[in-house]
Amino acid sequence: MVGMRIADVQDQIDHELVSRTQIDHKIQEVAARVSADYAGKNPLFVAVLKGAVNTLAALSQAVSIPVQIDFMSLSSYGSGTQSSGSVTIRQDLSTDVRGRHILIVEDIVDSGRTLAWLSEELKRRGAASVEIFALLEKPARREVDVDVKYRGYEIPDEFVVGFGLDYDERFRNLDSIAVLKPEVYQGVHA
């Protein structure tokens, strides 16, 4: 299958950070661990819309055990390329998480605020366990301590797009992770 690759939007891409081969490799590796760790537990994969959709789809197709999936839409107020501390629910899960083993599937951990909030919220609702898989992490920007059990790739402090991640709703369907040319951001990223 051929999707939208860097070559297709080359005029707007500065450089690639994580290739599709690397993404696929990491997902396979994590899927093997998750399949072993959650065997017999009927886990619920929870993804935060919209960025984590690709990662959740890829992980759920790579595991060898039955899983369920659900989605949540959160907004940390503010636009542009920075997330803020305060989180509100725009669209909630349709699943009762009481007694469930939850794996939060995230695209990227930046400050860690969204994940710290979500993880606490699911525990408050009575989840039996809550663990996190994050495909990407920006260690330089971490403000809040969150325990990411299944870790993907560490990337430098650069705003990235692709594999679900957007800039102004664009580039989500790019098949790998890349940094845009500065002029595309129009000076929004501080």
Q: Which residues bind ligand 5GP (CB under 6 A)?
A: 48, 51, 83, 106-114, 159-161, 165-167
If phi > 0 it is left, if psi is from -120 to 50 it is alpha, else beta; for residue 147 that is: beta
Whether residue 46 contacts residue 93, with contact meaning beta carbons closer than 8 Å, is answered with yes
109 binds, among ligand 5GP, Mg ion, none (CB under 5 to 8 A by kind): ligand 5GP
Closest CB to ligand 5GP among residues 42, 186: 186
Indicate which residue of 96, 110, 145, 166 is catalytic.
110
Q: Which stretch, 2-10, 44-52, 59-67, 68-76, contacts Mg ion (CB under 5 A)? A: 44-52
Burial 130-146 (b: 16+ CB within 10 A, else e): bbbbbbbbbeeeeeeeb
Whether residue 67 contacts residue 56, with contact meaning beta carbons closer than 8 Å, is answered with no
Closest CB to Mg ion among residues 114, 176: 114
Least distance in Å: CB of 19 to ligand 5GP?
17
Closest CB to Mg ion among residues 131, 166: 166
Residue 110: active-site member: yes
Give the residue among 43, 160, 159, 37 at the shortest CA–CA distance from 105: 43
CA distance 179 to 112: 20
Q: What is the largest CA-CA distance in the chain?
A: 50
Least distance in Å: CB of 64 to ligand 5GP?
27
Least distance in Å: CB of 179 to ligand 5GP?
9
Closest CB to ligand 5GP among residues 60, 111: 111
Whether residue 67 contacts residue 94, with contact meaning beta carbons closer than 8 Å, is answered with no
Kindly list the catalytic residues: 110
